[in-house]
Amino acid sequence: MLRQYELVDRVLSYDPEADEALLNRAYVFSLQAHGSQKRASGDPYFSHPIEVAGILTDLHLDDETIATAILHDTIEDTVATPEQIQKLFGDNVARMVDGVTKLSKIEAQTESERAAENLRKFLLAMSDDIRVLLVKLADRLHNMRTLHHIPNPDKRKRIARETMDIYAPLAERIGMYEFMKEMQTLAFAQLEPEAYQSIQKRLDQLQEGGDRIAKIGSGVKLLLSRHGVDADISGREKHPYSIWKKMQERHISFEQLSDVMAFRAIVPTEEDCYRAMGVIHRRWPFVPGRFKDYISTPKRNGYRSLHTSIMHAGDTRVEIQIRTGEMHAEAEYGLAAHWAYKTGKVRADGQHSWITDLVEILETAETPEELLEHTRMAMYQDRIFAFTPKGELHQLPKGATPIDFAYAVHTDLGDQAVGAKINGRHVPLRTVIENGDQVQILRSKAQSPQPNWLNFAITGKARAAIRRHLRAIERKETLTLGRKLYDEIVDRLPAPLSVDAVKTALKKLQLTDEDALIEAVARRRITDAELMEALMPGSASTDAGRALPQQSSAISITGLTPGVAYKLDTICHPVPGDRIVGLRRPDQEIEVHRIDCPVLANSDDVDWVDLAWGDKSEGGLARIEVTLKNEPGALGTVSTIIGQHRANIINIRFDTSDTGFHTNQIDLEVRDAAHLEKLMAALRAADAVNAVTRV
């Protein structure tokens, strides 16, 4: 453990103007606060915050950050209070300690809720001052270094999995690759101990025949020197987790993996990077597809370097990275490398706009699981570059669509998107954007986010915005439908209600207001009988042979959006004009079925609701089964008839076949049941069609 004077001397060595008194006060306060507390290893607990502070001195962080590291567990694990921290160490340190403190143990039902809740707290703090994240990552790194002292194997695996899923990717996301690699290696040893030991054993065997890395490295250095390039060469084996991940992705053995060695050339200038690359490629053949220029096109986290792989000595594939000293500092320590002492700011060049996006997601996510889904999407996926028509560059995850692009530009543009052009060509909104595409979003003020956008939007920002809008629409339509159900139930009462009947019912049902009552009716959180009894005691009684009054009229679903307040069944595919009935299950949308749907046969324990489409209902998805003669042009005939009847084919699936006939299932967009019947009659009249039935 670092002594007090050793820690202070470390900080003063790179920042002579550091507040020495602040560091000394923090050291003494933390030592006294933690007192006789012990860690799982048996060491004094105080050793942990000091080692965390020591890790951060390696990054040359400012005195306030080091003080925060020393104090980061005092509020959670001792009797120290936030007010004490603020009084003794100032507003900045108090705010950062509060941000990085794990707080009290979260009461959560699931692992994902607990992980997401922790993620929410420190990300929100980090967005205010990025130093909070640096302290948190150093805290996790030291905990991983001492993880083997925890006796409970399940707890070790849980911490290792959380590190692999959240903290290591966060370190990578802000360019702190050394933190990421060490976290991954330590977590991998816990999660896959046999694989880790096997790979480590193979790496040790590679060194038995002499130091191949040193020999190859000296050869590269000599080659560059002869061509006038002064380079500092260092080599290493890839860390075990990186090797294992590549073996898993490519389904190959260790022996088949040919690039376990990697070298780094540090050169004086950016021009020397390209000169060195040319010299190396003239000497050894490079592996096609393995050259990456992150200098002209940096990664989203600011990483800059040249990458290539060469065939050394004819049979050894070697990875080489070429960069300047400044690029190397940023590559190893990311944000920490360009922390500006005393300014309280990081480089404001737009590299870290992802933090702003995450904060927006944090504020709109409804559940912890949804939060974790969005933040993982925002942080962990590979990126592509796409341009607006004016040439503005936007970085997106690989697999992103125009919807993701629209929301990346502006939330209003995403909400109003009706179409897109990619490289001047009209495309559907679900089209995947390729690297370097120019994307133009077509908009309309009459448009609003659609439920099916969630099927192809992949960025956290887009999905959060869509869900936020859909939740508002869902509540509005749920209240509309609930009001219709409520009015129908009230009509079944034996007498009109008094003025105070609803207020009395709310108290009996323990609901806050009338909207909560209406929503409970729509979501079947209360039954019809419970509502009737609450409104008018005795009205739902079945004593003396009196049966519960039945629904008297069909409830219209006109004006409501399928998939929001109600959902159309995907087995019977009802369309306007069909006789329909609804199934009302607790805390779910009402399911709409055709009256002859087979699902209804097993629904005796579910509330049935008599529904009607309404006069202006139009448009639905129907499924038909068509048996065709097995002859050329038969399917073309069917497509022609469908097109002539102004129906739209959504999907065709080949079902069965025999010698003379084959059967296809076709999903169609039709206006209503009458439109569908007319179309089916036309198909039956065609010579190529043997039979047509509705599925």
CA 529 to chain CA mean position, Å: 43
pLDDT value of position 127: 55
pLDDT tens digits along 647-679: 999 888 887 777 788 888 999 989 888 899 999
Instruction: Look at the block and give the residue holding tokens 């084919």.
Output: 649
pLDDT value of position 56: 93
The token pair at 346 is: 């990081």
Average the pLDDT over each of 49-53, 288-292, 643-647 and give the range with the smallest value. Answer: 288-292
Average pLDDT value for residue range 52-66: 91
Average pLDDT over all residues of the chain: 82
Instruction: Pick from 26-30, 210-214, 476-480 the range whose average pLDDT is largest.
Output: 26-30
Q: Where are the domains of the chain?
A: 4-199, 469-612, 620-694
Phi, psi of 94 (to 5 degrees): -60, -45
CB atoms within 10 A of CB 693: 11
Pairwise CA distance, residues 170 & 137, whole Å: 8
Average pLDDT value for residue range 584-598: 85
- Is the confidence at residue 481, as pLDDT, over 70? yes
- Is the confidence at residue 332, as pLDDT, over 60? yes
pLDDT value of position 345: 39
pLDDT value of position 616: 66
Helix, strand, coil percent values for the chain (each to nearest 5): 50, 15, 35
pLDDT value of position 108: 31
Instruction: Pick from 13-22, 241-250, 369-378, 481-490 the range whose average pLDDT is largest.
Output: 13-22
Instruction: Look at the block and give the residue holding tokens 């702190």.
Output: 176
Average the pLDDT over each of 91-95, 438-442, 566-570 and give the range with the smallest value. Answer: 566-570
Domain 4-199 classification at class level: mainly alpha
Domain 620-694 classification at class level: alpha beta
Say if CB 402 and CB 431 are below 8 A apart: yes
Confidence label for 375 from pLDDT (cuts 50, 70 and 90)? low
Q: What is the dihedral of CA 403, 407, 413, 415, to 10 degrees?
A: 70
Q: Is the Cα dihedral 69, 70, 76, 81 positive or negative? A: negative
DSSP type of residue 111: H
3-state class of 466 per DSSP?
Answer: helix
Amino acid at 620: G
**More confident: 250 or 179:** 179
Say if CB 153 and CB 375 are below 8 A apart: no
How many Å is the Cα radius of gyration of the chain? 33
Amino acid at 266: I
Average the pLDDT over each of 355-364, 520-529, 541-550 and give the range with the smallest value. Answer: 541-550
Average the pLDDT over each of 237-241, 250-254, 350-354, 604-608 and give the range with the smallest value. Answer: 350-354
- Is the confidence at residue 371, as pLDDT, over 80? no
pLDDT value of position 51: 94
Average pLDDT value for residue range 272-291: 91
Active site residue 77: yes
Pairwise CA distance, residues 534 & 519, whole Å: 16
Of 241, 45, 98, 251, residue with least CA distance to 160: 241
CA 563 to chain CA mean position, Å: 23
- Is the confidence at residue 420, as pLDDT, over 80? yes
Burial class of residue 431, CB neighbours in 10 A (0-12, 13-18, 19+): middle
Instruction: Pick from 23-32, 248-257, 478-487, 532-541 the range whose average pLDDT is largest.
Output: 23-32
Average the pLDDT over each of 42-56, 93-107, 461-475, 654-668 and give the range with the smallest value. Answer: 93-107
CA 178 to chain CA mean position, Å: 24
CB atoms within 10 A of CB 452: 12
Average the pLDDT over each of 79-88, 119-128, 450-459, 466-475 and give the range with the smallest value. Answer: 119-128
Catalytic hit among 76, 113, 293, 530: 76
pLDDT value of position 392: 76
Q: What is the dihedral of CA 577, 579, 584, 587, to 10 degrees?
A: -20
Catalytic hit among 77, 270, 326, 669: 77
Pairwise CA distance, residues 36 & 32, whole Å: 9
Active site residue 437: no
- Is the confidence at residue 99, as pLDDT, over 50? yes
pLDDT tens digits along 342-359: 334 343 344 455 556 666
pLDDT value of position 379: 56
Confidence label for 107 from pLDDT (cuts 50, 70 and 90)? very low
Instruction: Pick from 124-133, 487-496, 661-670 the range whose average pLDDT is largest.
Output: 661-670
Pairwise CA distance, residues 685 & 695, whole Å: 19
Residues belonging to the chain: 695
Average the pLDDT over each of 12-21, 404-413, 565-574 and give the range with the smallest value. Answer: 565-574
Average pLDDT value for residue range 571-594: 86
pLDDT value of position 596: 87
pLDDT value of position 598: 85
